[in-house]
Amino acid sequence: MLDLLQVAQDYYSNGYMGGTGFSSGGSLLLMGAIAIIGYIVQARLQSVFAKYSQVYFPSGLTGAEVAEKMLRENNVHNVRVTHVRGQLTDHFNPANMTVNLSDSVYSSRSIAAAAVACHECGHAIQHAQGYAPLVMRSALVPVVNFASRAATWVIIAGIAIMASTNSTTVCWIGIGLIAMSALFSIVTLPVEYNASQRALEWLQSSRTLQGAELSYARESLKWAARTYLVAALSAIATVIYYISLISRRNN
């Protein structure tokens, strides 16, 4: 995406685009502001997780044990809980029906580990129940993979065509492809918020975490969700930026 941005910026700064459209400088500023907010949210998430990875809860279950219990109590019996290498690599894989928990979650007895483990189980339960935003998100995966691969080339071709023929049609098709990524990151939001909500509801109803412990888990998941929110805002700002570049040309 950055290379693509460079192409458009070079084009813009070389003075090929005249006229007065709505401000692309303004949308660059917006993207910059979102990048700074993203940095702050990421730093806060890491510090919150580091803190609650050191706080243990009375029942003393590991992340893997909490995950297995939550799946069982939600009548999900066809999902295995497995260990995956790395940090923050936790995910639910519907292809082989596994909840994959990372080094710092799988065997940890911390509140942060329980929160992450239950969030991933939340995705497994969404899958089992055919939760609509998850179904839509899965359907978008191949479309977005294709669109993001094609977008760079379509935009480059579009800029070349625009320079020689004044036609912006191919540029708009390129922007449409970039917009698919933004749509994907928007559909991701209800999926992520709902998984965290399921996690917290179960942690409370099963009395796995109570009182302050539950609020620590809530705080951890809240910051994780905010990283998805920032990603979606950033994707939307990128689309606005490209629209502002091309619409200047139209005027």
Using the minimum distance from each CB to Zn ion, give the nearer residue, 24 or 100.
Answer: 100
Residue 101 DSSP one-character state:
E
Using the minimum distance from each CB to Zn ion, give the nearer residue, 136 or 161.
Answer: 136
Which one of the spans 162-170, 173-181, 184-192, 230-238 is the region binding Zn ion (CB under 5 A)?
A: 184-192
Catalytic residue (choose from 68, 120, 192, 213): 120
Which one of the spans 56-64, 95-103, 185-193, 199-207 is the region binding Zn ion (CB under 5 A)?
A: 185-193
Question: Smallest distance, Å, CB 218 to Zn ion?
Answer: 15
The answer to whether the CB of 223 falls within 8 A of the CB of 44 is yes
Question: Smallest distance, Å, CB 84 to Zn ion?
Answer: 14
**Which two structure tokens, joined as six digits, stand for 102?**
């990372």
100 Cβ contact list (under 8 Å, min separation 6): 82, 83, 84, 89, 90, 91, 92, 93, 120
Distance CA(71)–CA(123), nearest Å, equals 10
For Zn ion, the binding residues in 190-219 under the rule CB under 5 A are 192, 195
The yes-or-no answer on residue 120 being catalytic is: yes
DSSP annotation string for 44-98: HHHHHHHHHTS-B-TT---HHHHHHHHHHHTT--S-EEEE--SSS--EEETTTTE
Question: Smallest distance, Å, CB 228 to Zn ion?
Answer: 8
Using the minimum distance from each CB to Zn ion, give the nearer residue, 38 or 133.
Answer: 133
Question: Smallest distance, Å, CB 140 to Zn ion?
Answer: 15
